[in-house]
A and B are shown apart, each in its own frame.
Chain A
């Protein structure tokens, strides 16, 4: 049986990591159709273009480590192991969704692989991750916490308060900025006076690294160094992954504010192509095998959508469940 945990172990190979990135792309690209067909409510925030960051992170962490992530969390959830049925089921509000249909696109979770319910308030996941790390430190185990957030979060108070506190407490937490150049609808240069956000670590005497977020191997190396550093008791790191969001901020955003040609330039460095070309040039994978892989994934995602659409919504009784310990 496929579980989130078994899917996590598939990231142990280069081929497995490429497959997962392709799967994330296929899932993200299926959502507009699901919306058009009336299966998706509210908003969605896609991460196509940023697949290498999520998969790189998930390839390094142990399932016992804990991740807090923003509402742009489909990619992180899939990377950490949640099934396409779990993610798409949640986005469609079905009982087979990873949060039972109670959370929606912005609130994906799976405790078996360390994914806390994703956070729909900018910056909110950072203090919680620091607390997870504090608990690991107090319990004297070597788990780490990792928090994924966008460039927009680096201007919110929670970011600065948490980096400062994590640094003085030497907490085993890794702060990962997915710098996709836009905070909601606003380009970074209009909201932020520096271009390398990792430099904000300097104010907090924190270890920092800038990494090419389009290259999953580079992400793995950067995350692995930070995780080793944290597990050894040396404290937090701030990692800035330079990446790009192919879609607008949310479904209602056509992203007309982009510089003409910018999207095409970034697509020349597509994380899926970079990973696939490496494997092809090494001889690990043939073009034919890659095409087969893509079509298999398309089939699997189509199957997942069928399963999701055949699934019921949550029962009325679940509305009042888990409100508090008593019910």
Chain B
């Protein structure tokens, strides 16, 4: 067990996979110099420029090249720097790479990992702060993971690289600097599709992923009126239905905290599934705490307000428990 920052866990995971598998290589913009988040720092010195390949600013070309190289038995890890940059290359992932296995009846696999920095809170403005999980949801053939700790970054990234299908790993910019204990090696690997119970509790199940796991923990620790079972999904596609059902069956209440905006959010699917499966066992309606349907503002006070804060989560959950009804979102005003 070693204490490291999340960005160091990225480097460690990449390094460990590159050492254990010669088909693993990295490709992306400015990765040789470490990039804006220093999440590949030192790897070019260790593995050379044939395994740490700096590309032109041509996302479609190098993401597509990742698909092609993966289909030939390599395990490329393509870095998109900011998740928004996938927008100019999305075809290569969602329409090409995701369907290669299906169209070729399994003759071509695409063991491709796509790393992208995502998330708000750092003042990058609306074009460099989104999560954009909605771009990948509902697209067969892709997995999507969002780590919340140095350990889950390490463990999920290694699993992503070992997966025989395309995996998108969204690395929250606000978490790169967070420190935590990391078990490295095989014991530290976390399977895709498996949630983690962060805290045990009885009043409410809080389902979170990435940055909202920290928000949920802060909210829980800042009050003593209620206890919560916090489930860190870790993987959004495919999400761990059994872990969520088991916990909600126990607590009878579900609250989902999403960093993304309300409409079309992933929490809607979780709530829908829970209502379908646990109808009659729920003590309160499932509730979603999200950001509003607006682009992400730059000014610090507005960006802070945009994201679900721990104070907001506490007030929302306390009201839900008190009234048995879903409270209005802050932007809806008084109802």
Genuine A/B complex: yes
Distance to closest chain B CB from A205 (angstroms):
14
Please indicate the chain A residues that have their CB under 8 angstroms from the CB of B67 in the complex: 127-128, 131
User: Is B303 positioned at the interface, with any CB of A under 8 Å from its CB?
Assistant: no
Please indicate the chain A residues that have their CB under 8 angstroms from the CB of B210 in the complex: none
B141 touches A128 (CB 8 A): no
User: Is A210 positioned at the interface, with any CB of B under 8 Å from its CB?
Assistant: no
The interface stretch among A33-41, A95-103, A238-246, A257-265 is A95-103
Please indicate the chain B residues that have their CB under 8 angstroms from the CB of A99 in the complex: 103-105
- Known A135-B73, A324-B165; judge A145-B64 contact (CB<8 A): no
User: Is A138 positioned at the interface, with any CB of B under 8 Å from its CB?
Assistant: yes
Give the residue name and chain of the B residue nearest to A168 (CB): B56
Give the residue name and chain of the A residue nearest to B112 (CB): A131
- Most A CB within 10 A of own CB, among B96, B104, B164: B104
Please indicate the chain A residues that have their CB under 8 angstroms from the CB of B50 in the complex: 138
Number of A-B contacts (CB under 8 A): 139
User: Is B69 positioned at the interface, with any CB of A under 8 Å from its CB?
Assistant: yes
Please indicate the chain A residues that have their CB under 8 angstroms from the CB of B25 in the complex: 138
User: Is A182 positioned at the interface, with any CB of B under 8 Å from its CB?
Assistant: no
B68 touches A145 (CB 8 A): yes
User: Is A31 positioned at the interface, with any CB of B under 8 Å from its CB?
Assistant: no
User: Is B299 positioned at the interface, with any CB of A under 8 Å from its CB?
Assistant: no
Q: How large is the interface on A (under 10, 10 to 19, 20 to 34, 35 or more residues)?
A: 35 or more
The interface stretch among A78-86, A116-124, A269-277 is A116-124
100-157 of chain A: CB within 8 A of chain B: 100, 102-103, 107, 109, 111, 116-117, 119, 121, 124, 126-136, 138-139, 145, 157
51-76 of chain B: CB within 8 A of chain A: 53, 55-56, 58-74, 76
A126 touches B64 (CB 8 A): yes
State the CA gap A132–B65 with chains docked (Å). 7
Give the residue name and chain of the B residue nearest to A112 (CB): B107
- Known A124-B92, A157-B60, A165-B62; judge A131-B69 contact (CB<8 A): yes
Please indicate the chain A residues that have their CB under 8 angstroms from the CB of B165 in the complex: 324-325
User: Is A66 positioned at the interface, with any CB of B under 8 Å from its CB?
Assistant: yes
User: Is B127 positioned at the interface, with any CB of A under 8 Å from its CB?
Assistant: no
User: Is A268 positioned at the interface, with any CB of B under 8 Å from its CB?
Assistant: no
Please indicate the chain B residues that have their CB under 8 angstroms from the CB of A124 in the complex: 64, 91-92, 95-96
B140 touches A165 (CB 8 A): no
A131 touches B71 (CB 8 A): yes
Distance to closest chain A CB from B30 (angstroms):
15
State the CA gap A171–B165 with chains docked (Å). 25
Please indicate the chain B residues that have their CB under 8 angstroms from the CB of A116 in the complex: 71, 100, 104, 108
B95 touches A322 (CB 8 A): no
Please indicate the chain B residues that have their CB under 8 angstroms from the CB of A164 in the complex: 56, 58, 61
User: Is B163 positioned at the interface, with any CB of A under 8 Å from its CB?
Assistant: yes
- Known A165-B55, A323-B141; judge A132-B71 contact (CB<8 A): yes
Please indicate the chain B residues that have their CB under 8 angstroms from the CB of A128 in the complex: 64-65, 67-68, 71, 92, 96
B61 interface neighbour in A138, A139, A158, A325, Cβ under 8 Å? A158
B106 touches A322 (CB 8 A): yes
Interface size on B, residues (CB 8 A): 45
User: Is A299 positioned at the interface, with any CB of B under 8 Å from its CB?
Assistant: no
User: Is B102 positioned at the interface, with any CB of A under 8 Å from its CB?
Assistant: yes
134-166 of chain B: CB within 8 A of chain A: 140-141, 143, 163-165
State the CA gap A107–B72 with chains docked (Å). 19
A135 interface neighbour in B62, B69, B143, Cβ under 8 Å? B69
A117 interface neighbour in B53, B65, B68, B104, Cβ under 8 Å? B104
B91 interface neighbour in A66, A121, A145, Cβ under 8 Å? A121
- Known A128-B92, A165-B61; judge A323-B107 contact (CB<8 A): no
B60 interface neighbour in A127, A133, A134, Cβ under 8 Å? A127
User: Is A161 positioned at the interface, with any CB of B under 8 Å from its CB?
Assistant: yes
State the CA gap A109–B104 with chains docked (Å). 7
User: Is B109 positioned at the interface, with any CB of A under 8 Å from its CB?
Assistant: yes
Give the residue name and chain of the A residue nearest to B50 (CB): A138
Give the residue name and chain of the B residue nearest to A156 (CB): B60
- 10 cross-chain pairs, A with B, having the tightest CB-CB distances, nearest first: A127-B64, A131-B68, A131-B65, A135-B72, A161-B61, A161-B58, A117-B103, A128-B68, A111-B107, A131-B69
